[in-house]
Amino acid sequence: MRCATATPLDNFAIVPEMTPIRTFLFGVLAWLGAAVGYSKPLVVTTHTVLSDFVHEIAGDDVEVTCLLPVNIDPHSYDPRPADVRAVSRAALVVMNGLGLEPWAERLVAAAGYKGAIVVATDGLEGLLPLSDHEEHGHAGRSGENDALDPHAWQDLRNAKHYVQKIANALCQVVPSRADAFRSNAAAYEAKLDALDAEVRREIDSIPSGRRKLVTSHDSLQYLGNRYGLRIVPVAGSRPGQEPSARQLAELISTVRREHVPAVFFEATSNPKLAELVAKEAGVTVVRELYTDSLGPTGSPGATYLGMFRHNIATLVAALK
């Protein structure tokens, strides 16, 4: 909304006396006009983890819209008209990449968005292959990354890469706050380093022979690679995709043969599959891990740091 331009006083037939009431009202109207005329830059993210990083870096200096609600599978999300409108108004779009959100580029095109885009995994070294990429269904950008695991934030070192890329982009969007953004990013990276050391101590408390688990979705390979956990995902699985009878039988056999202590399911997955595997293999089923999404407000997984601590505490309690 544009504010009306001021009219010279000599165009008025009568200039009313500025009583205290009129002075107050003019002040209120001026404040409202300034408020209407100012809007924070809008940052649109495709994922709850990315939104949390933006909040940690920029605080109240930007408006953040996350396209995915919590506990929603990002792989098969169907964008809404409201998402197109949000992207069209954005000053910055932040996405994960590696095929986590295969709909994102189509959405950007549909919105006619020509602004800055951050792909948080771009330039990240040490990317891992999907254990079952031929059937997993992740479609990378132009297909080149369809065999890579997109859940890179499950390694705290990778989270630092995300934070650095997002901070650099935010400094371009709001240059007047660049120093504050860099300071906030550095402080948050220090928290990530401290949590990494904390997680190592927790994992070390698990007997080496019990550092293995089954998950219903191939989303924790980075966590396992970083901390020496063997992750056995349900073969060929992704949220909403059921394994074949042969794959299920092979998984149950693996759990028995390897003496896997527990089967976990993620908040975005159907628990019935994990419960079936656990029952047939005679092991514990554990609820629940946050992997493809942060949790709702008030839950242990409502923030990235909270999500990571919750997942590690859940794993350690079940595997010790």
Q: Per residue in 37-73, pLDDT tens?
A: 458 999 999 999 999 999 999 999 999 999 999 988 8
Q: In angstroms, rounded to a whole number, what is the distance separating the alpha carbons of residues 237 and 232?
A: 11
Shared domain for 92 and 175, answered yes or no, is yes
Shared domain for 174 and 290, answered yes or no, is no
pLDDT at position 128: 94
| Residue 226: other Cβ atoms inside 10 A | 18
CATH number for position 232: 3.40.50.1980
Per-position DSSP letters for 160-223, written without gaps between them: HHHHHHHHHHHHHHSGGGHHHHHHHHHHHHHHHHHHHHHHHHHHHTS-GGG-EEEESSS--HHH
Shared domain for 263 and 181, answered yes or no, is no
Evaluate if residue 299 carries a pLDDT over 60. Answer: yes
- Within-domain flag for 121: yes
pLDDT at position 265: 76
> Does the predicted TM-score (pTM) go above 0.85?
no
Contact predicate 129/149, CB 8 Å: yes
Q: Write down the mean pLDDT value for the chain.
A: 84
Evaluate if residue 142 carries a pLDDT over 70. Answer: no
Give the 3-state secondary structure of residue 233: strand
- Within-domain flag for 183: yes
- Within-domain flag for 23: no
Residue (of 156, 287, 161) closest to 226 by Cα position: 156
Shared domain for 184 and 215, answered yes or no, is no
- Within-domain flag for 201: no
pLDDT at position 145: 54
- Within-domain flag for 15: no
Mean pLDDT of 100-111: 96
Shared domain for 176 and 98, answered yes or no, is yes
Contact predicate 57/170, CB 8 Å: yes
- Within-domain flag for 189: yes
Mean pLDDT of 117-134: 85
- Whole domain around residue 287: which residue ranges? 207-319
Shared domain for 244 and 173, answered yes or no, is no
- Within-domain flag for 314: yes
Burial class from Cβ neighbours inside 10 Å (0-12, 13-18, 19+) for residue 80 reads exposed
Shared domain for 185 and 310, answered yes or no, is no
- Within-domain flag for 29: no
Mean pLDDT of 162-174: 99
Q: How many domains does the chain have?
A: 2
Shared domain for 233 and 146, answered yes or no, is no
- The alpha carbon torsion through 198, 203, 207, 213 (nearest 10 deg) reads 160
Lowest mean pLDDT among 11-25, 112-126, 139-153, 250-264: 11-25
E strand or H helix at 156: helix 156-173
Q: Which residue has the higher pLDDT, 236 or 182?
A: 182
Contact predicate 97/121, CB 8 Å: yes
